[in-house]
């Protein structure tokens, strides 16, 4: 009876881990190896003011999401916040982020469709991305990965 109970509990834990994306035993993830440096980068970027404090007038911020490279098929990570209801819609939101990013040393670059892409000289493997998600919602993401990132790639 005790063995059956352990088997059932093990099966439930493995099922729950699969549903939540949790790796119980470490190792490689969906996109590649899970590295401690990615955990550290994600934790550091989670505290960056571009996703914690820089909010356009009228915008309602949502929850901040973190994804690590090993959890993504493309092997990139990011810290993202989505917001809605910014005054003036995306045109004003783009102007707001161009100004706020520049104040913080982020340099605007081309190469990411109709969204905005910024690079920072002190963050060579991090991109600041601002994109429209829907008519009323936009995303601000600090994207990172294990290879050099630029707005052109």
Q: Could you list the pLDDT tens digit for every one of the 153 residues in the chain?
A: 443 333 333 333 333 344 344 443 345 666 677 888 888 999 999 999 999 999 999 999 999 999 888 887 777 899 999 999 999 988 999 999 999 999 999 999 975 567 899 999 998 889 999 999 998 899 999 999 866 678 877
CB neighbour list of residue 87: distance below 8 Å, 6 or more residues apart: 56, 57, 58, 59
Closest by alpha carbon to 93, among 49, 40, 39, 132? 132
Residue 34: per-residue pLDDT: 80
CB 75 within 8 A of CB 35: no
Residue 30: per-residue pLDDT: 62
Residue 150: per-residue pLDDT: 81
CB 26 within 8 A of CB 68: no
CB 30 within 8 A of CB 72: yes
Residue 147: per-residue pLDDT: 67
Which residues lie across from 144 on neighbouring strands? 77, 126
Give me 85's structure tokens.
Answer: 């209801």
Residue 95: per-residue pLDDT: 93
Residue 143: per-residue pLDDT: 93
Residue 35: per-residue pLDDT: 81
Conformational region of residue 27, where left means phi above 0, alpha means psi within -120 to 50, and beta covers everything else:
left
Q: Is 65 helix (H, G, I), strand (E, B) or coil?
A: strand
Give me 152's structure tokens.
Answer: 């052109």
């Amino acid at each position: 009876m005790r063995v059956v109970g352990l088997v059932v509990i093990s099966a439930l834990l493995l099922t729950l881990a699969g549903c939540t994306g949790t790796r119980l035993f470490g190792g490689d993830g969906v996109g590649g190896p899970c590295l401690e440096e990615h955990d550290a980068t994600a934790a550091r970027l989670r505290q960056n003011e571009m996703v914690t404090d820089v909010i356009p007038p009228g915008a309602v911020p949502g929850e901040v999401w973190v994804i690590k490279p090993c959890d993504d098929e493309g092997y990139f990570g990011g810290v993202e916040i989505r917001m809605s209801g910014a005054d003036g819609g995306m045109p004003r939101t783009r102007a707001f982020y161009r100004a706020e990013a520049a104040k913080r040393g982020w340099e605007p670059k081309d190469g990411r469709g109709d969204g905005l892409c910024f690079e920072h000289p002190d963050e060579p493997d991090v991109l600041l991305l601002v994109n429209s998600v829907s008519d009323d919602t936009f995303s601000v993401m600090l994207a990172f990965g294990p290879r050099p990132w630029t707005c052109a790639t």
